[in-house]
Structure 1
Amino acid sequence: MYPHQGSQAYRQVGLESSAMGADPHKLIMLLFEGAHSAMLRAKIFMANGDIPARGAEITKAINIIQQGLRAALDHQQGGELSHNLERLYDYMTRTLLQANLQQDIDAITHVDTLMMNIYDAWKQISPSPKA
């Protein structure tokens, strides 16, 4: 095992441990953090000209947005807010796809900024008391 693979395996175990003990609110926070991390790595790979790695990280961010955040929306309880978030997540997905095709680092930054704004709002509504 190469050092890079070891650190990657360590991070994966840490993430799985965090997810296993997390409440639903924390799980959503982990999804935001994962998408943010993937977009940061995609920008680094884009700057370095590593096309396959860039594509893999953008795909990872899209999957988190679509299969995690978007799939977790509850239209019954969320009403208009959940519908607006669904449209925003679809916009983010389309923008990331275009960013990958056009090698547009600014578009990734734009989506990441939107994502982190939602993440910050999500942190503010934490159901658990802060330590």
Structure 2
Amino acid sequence: MNAYARAAQNYSSVKVQSSVTDASPHRLVQMLFEGALERIAQAKGAMARKEIERKGELISKAINIVGGLLGSLNDKEGGELAANLDGVYDYIIRRLVQANYENNTEILDECGRLLAELKSAWDSIAVETR
């Protein structure tokens, strides 16, 4: 990695860290959705380029992010909604594992659609509360 690439990577890392530090809890969840969707899109590109190791890394990152969303659920206060989201996140994780194993872009697309729908619903919460 050349000096310019390292500098860009360091800048990006600092930018993300400061965004996380300054973000509200609602924004943090939005950032998780954005990160998962980005990793899925990148994994799809890696599949197309036959970059197997990179694809696996990106899908693993997406799985970890969805796992973070799953872990953030509050079963006591969330009730039925939290239980439903638990099932959806679990399903997405299992499908991402399958997509990785099968090199299946259609499964990645399905996971992306599900996460995009959830993100859209989450985004609308911010608009409704203003």
**TM category, shorter:** over 0.9
- After TM superposition, where is structure 1 displaced by more than 6 Å over at least 4 residues in a row? none
Q: Which residue of 2 aligns with 1:80?
A: 80
CA RMSD of aligned residues (A): 1.3
* Ranges in structure 2 where 5+ consecutive residues have no aligned partner: none
Residues 71 and 100 of structure 1, relative CA distance in 2, 3 Å threshold: same
Q: Distance in 2 between matches of 1:78 and 1:9?
A: 38
- Alpha-carbon offset, residue 14 of structure 1: 1.2
Q: Deviations over 1:36-92 (max 9, x none)?
A: 1110110000000000000000000000001x1001101111100001101100100
Question: Which secondary structure state, in structure 2, belongs to the residue aligned with residue 49 of structure 1?
Answer: coil
- Alpha-carbon offset, residue 117 of structure 1: 0.5
Moved more, 16-25 or 5-14: 5-14
Q: Distance in 2 between matches of 1:26 and 1:72?
A: 13
Q: Which residue of 2 aligns with 1:39?
A: 40
Q: Deviations over 1:16-55 (max 9, x none)?
A: 1111011110110010011011101100000000000000
Matches within 5 A, 1:1-131: 1-2=1-2, 3-66=4-67, 68-126=68-126, 129=130
Q: Distance in 2 between matches of 1:128 and 1:28?
A: 16
* Ranges in structure 1 where 5+ consecutive residues have no aligned partner: none
Q: Distance in 2 between matches of 1:8 and 1:120?
A: 29
Q: Distance in 2 between matches of 1:100 and 1:4?
A: 28
Residue identity (%)? 38
How many residues are aligned here? 128
Structure (1 or 2) with the greater helix fraction: 2
Question: TM-score normalized by structure 1?
Answer: 0.92
